[in-house]
Amino acid sequence: MYEIISSVKRDYIADLARQEKRADARALDQYREVSVETGLIKSAQGSALVKIGNTQVLAGVKLERVEPFPDTPNSGVLMVNAELRPLASPTFEAGPPDENSIELARVVDRGIRESESIDLDKLGITPGKEVWAVYIDLHVLDYDGNLIDAASLAAIAALWNVKKPQVEGWTLDEFPVLKKPVAVTVVKIGEKLMVDPSLDEENVMDARLTISTLEDGSICAMQKGGVWCLTVEEIKAAYGLARAKAAELREHLK
Amino acid sequence: MEKPEKLIVDGKRLDGRGPEELRPLKIQAGALKRADGSAYVELGANKVLAAVYGPRELHPRHMQQPDTAVLRCRYNMAPFSVEERKRPGPDRRSVEISKVIREALEPVVFTKLYPRSGIDVFVEVLQADAGTRTAGITAAAVALADAGVPMRDLVSAVAVGKVDDTIVLDLTKEEDQFGTTDMPVAMLPRKRVITLLQMDGSFIEEEFERALALAMKGCEQIYEAQKQALKARYSIKPEEG
């Protein structure tokens, strides 16, 4: 998935970062333009298209009756899957999911699961026999950096888009979605931290830290990535940024 | 496994530890004959082996990089390592863990010294009781050193979490399953910087900061044990006879 980046460009972006500047003239704590459109896909029970700059991720929620897991006989099942479609980038290849798409799906999954954003206990049908499964499928359409934030926002927007599900045998009044976890990815380039990395910034970053927070500012999931390290001060600063930016992004979920 | 009523009674955990105590830790450097470097780690009931092969010629050749070695990691759980038999082979969890282990180790390895080559790290979990990725990193760092791979530092790792509203070090399987929060951390001990940080559950700011500080304290203890293990293997013993 890593693109080859020329050393001229690498030095340029690193130099700019040193001066607290970015190639697209954004501030270090500024997102590209964010948009969230919901309900575009009629065949899904919930859907959302999120754009962050040129990056586009489409999330669809499907509900199906399945057999429960033996250890939770009366709880619904949550499944998150991510597809890095080859139409989204010259570096994506067709075939089984690679580690990047698996990481993406699992980071989005943890944000939703660990915050208990869906009340899975309400999704039982017949104990031990049948429960509702919530499938969240993330379709990456255009990759220009910061997939994790776009995919997380798309997933939670699609979940909130499920109103009264139009599926046969649906018994509840409402779809039991309760919270709005929002993931914010902070990358480190040299000594500087910035949010919402563009593709070029992602390619030259030293490390990234994704922090999913809830409305009250508490953390529900984290994931560090990249092949360099973060100091404790940087981690704390990233948390501050994540909280502030999550509040901004959450505005798009209204 | 039934959920116990309480995971902490009178400030003691179910296995008798205090909140900030590690499980018994044993590290052996050089546990395998054929590998270029290896290590065996026991942390409580966890039994983890790590082996390093390389730097060696990298195959497939299209993966070779003209300016650097490629570090590859495979984390694998033996089918018998968990309560219910795990289906052999990679699943989504192990693919993700392999990726984060690689990213946790890569900062210490001087990969630029070995263009076109590969360094393979294999982490094999033989018996699992929560914290296998961190035990795997601890073992892999010792195995890399045992293989003679030039490194900036070791990497030490441990998980912290929140159980019954208490911040605890080094969670067991029960504490992981029924506790609120799990946060694996890996650190370069000399520079005190973080190379792996994952978390799921719930932390408010103050809890997070305390947990991170506790994890780093735990990593320091593990670092000492790693150094001891390497010294035990490589210190020059007085001549016999």
Concatenating the DSSP letter of every residue in A93-139 gives -SSS--HHHHHHHHHHHHHHHHTT-B-GGGGEEETTTEEEEEEEEEE
Tokens of B57: 């010629």
pLDDT for residue B194: 98
pLDDT tens, position by position, B25-63: 999 999 999 999 999 999 999 999 999 999 999 999 999
How many helices (H) and strands (E) in chain A? 5, 10
CATH of the domain at A132: 3.30.230.70
Tokens of A161: 């888009």
Query: pLDDT-based confidence at A149, cuts 50/70/90?
Result: very high
Q: Sign of torsion, CA B28 B29 B35 B37?
A: positive
Beta carbons within 10 angstroms of residue B36's beta carbon: 19
CB A93 within 8 A of CB A85: no
Of A106, A216, A230, the CB nearest to B194: A230
User: Would A132 be classed as within a structural domain?
Assistant: yes
Contact B193 A110 (CB under 8 A): no
Contact B200 A114 (CB under 8 A): yes
pLDDT for residue A163: 82
Tokens of B210: 């305390």
Contact B198 A224 (CB under 8 A): yes
Q: Which helix (H) or strand (E) holds A10?
A: helix A7-18
User: Would A1 be classed as within a structural domain?
Assistant: no
User: Would A166 be classed as within a structural domain?
Assistant: yes
Stated length of chain A: 254
User: What ipTM was predicted for this assembly?
Assistant: 0.84
pLDDT tens, position by position, B81-120: 998 889 998 999 999 999 999 999 999 999 999 999 999 9
CA distances from B159 to A33, B20, B93, B96, B211 (A): 37, 11, 17, 17, 9
pLDDT tens, position by position, A150-173: 999 999 999 999 987 778 888 788
Picking from A207, A224, A248, A222, the residue whose alpha carbon sits closest to that of residue B205 is A222
- pLDDT of residue B77 exceeding 50: yes
User: Would A45 be classed as within a structural domain?
Assistant: yes
List all residues 6 or more positions away from A122 whose beta carbon is below 8 Å from its beta carbon: A76, A172, A176
Cα–Cα distance measured from residue B94 to residue B85, given in angstroms and rounded to the nearest whole number: 15
Contact A105 B204 (CB under 8 A): no
Cα–Cα distance measured from residue A194 to residue A46, given in angstroms and rounded to the nearest whole number: 32
Cα–Cα distance measured from residue A123 to residue A117, given in angstroms and rounded to the nearest whole number: 13
CB A208 within 8 A of CB A185: yes
Cα–Cα distance measured from residue A111 to residue B198, given in angstroms and rounded to the nearest whole number: 12
Number of domains observed in the structure of chain A: 1
Distance from CA of B99 to the nearest CA of A (A): 7
Distance from CA of B238 to the nearest CA of A (A): 40
Cα–Cα distance measured from residue A46 to residue A140, given in angstroms and rounded to the nearest whole number: 17
Contact B202 A99 (CB under 8 A): no
pLDDT for residue A95: 86
Distance from chain centroid for Cα B178: 22
Distance from chain centroid for Cα B55: 21
Distance from CA of B241 to the nearest CA of A (A): 49
Rg (CA), chain A: 19
- pLDDT of residue B241 exceeding 60: no
Cα–Cα distance measured from residue A49 to residue A158, given in angstroms and rounded to the nearest whole number: 8
Mean pLDDT across the stretch A68-85?
93
pLDDT tens, position by position, A178-225: 999 999 999 999 999 999 999 999 999 999 999 999 999 999 999 999
Contact B204 A217 (CB under 8 A): yes
pLDDT tens, position by position, B150-201: 999 999 999 999 999 999 999 999 999 999 999 999 999 999 999 999 999 9
CATH superfamily, domain B19-232, is: GHMP Kinase, N-terminal domain (3.30.230.70)
**Which of chain B's residues have a Cβ under 8 Å away from the Cβ of A231?**
192-194
| Residue type at A57 in one-letter notation | V
pLDDT for residue A1: 47
**Which of chain A's residues have a Cβ under 8 Å away from the Cβ of B134?**
none
**Which of chain A's residues have a Cβ under 8 Å away from the Cβ of B201?**
114, 220
Distance from CA of A102 to the nearest CA of B (A): 6
Of B103, B106, B197, the CB nearest to A222: B197
CB A180 within 8 A of CB A156: yes
Picking from B74, B29, B23, B65, the residue whose alpha carbon sits closest to that of residue B227 is B29
Nearest CA in chain A to B1: A71
List all residues 6 or more positions away from B171 whose beta carbon is below 8 Å from its beta carbon: B130, B131, B159, B160, B161, B163, B179, B182
Distance from chain centroid for Cα B102: 11
What residues make up the domain containing A94?
Answer: 7-253
Picking from B119, B102, B112, B138, the residue whose alpha carbon sits closest to that of residue B25 is B138
**Which of chain A's residues have a Cβ under 8 Å away from the Cβ of B182?**
none
Tokens of B240: 């016999």
Contact B197 A224 (CB under 8 A): yes
Tokens of A109: 């999954």
Picking from B186, B192, B162, B194, the residue whose alpha carbon sits closest to that of residue A235 is B194
Residues of chain A contacting B, Cβ within 8 Å: 97, 99, 102-103, 105-106, 110, 113-115, 209, 216-232, 235-236, 239
For chain B, the domains span: 19-232
Cα–Cα distance measured from residue B83 to residue B174, given in angstroms and rounded to the nearest whole number: 12
**Which of chain A's residues have a Cβ under 8 Å away from the Cβ of B141?**
none
User: Would A2 be classed as within a structural domain?
Assistant: no
CB B167 within 8 A of CB B214: yes
Contact A218 B204 (CB under 8 A): yes
Q: Classify residue B67 by its DSSP letter.
A: T
Contact B191 A229 (CB under 8 A): yes
Residues of chain B contacting A, Cβ within 8 Å: 92-93, 95-96, 98-100, 102-103, 106-107, 183, 188, 191-205, 208-209, 212-213, 216
Of B191, B197, B201, the CB nearest to A235: B197
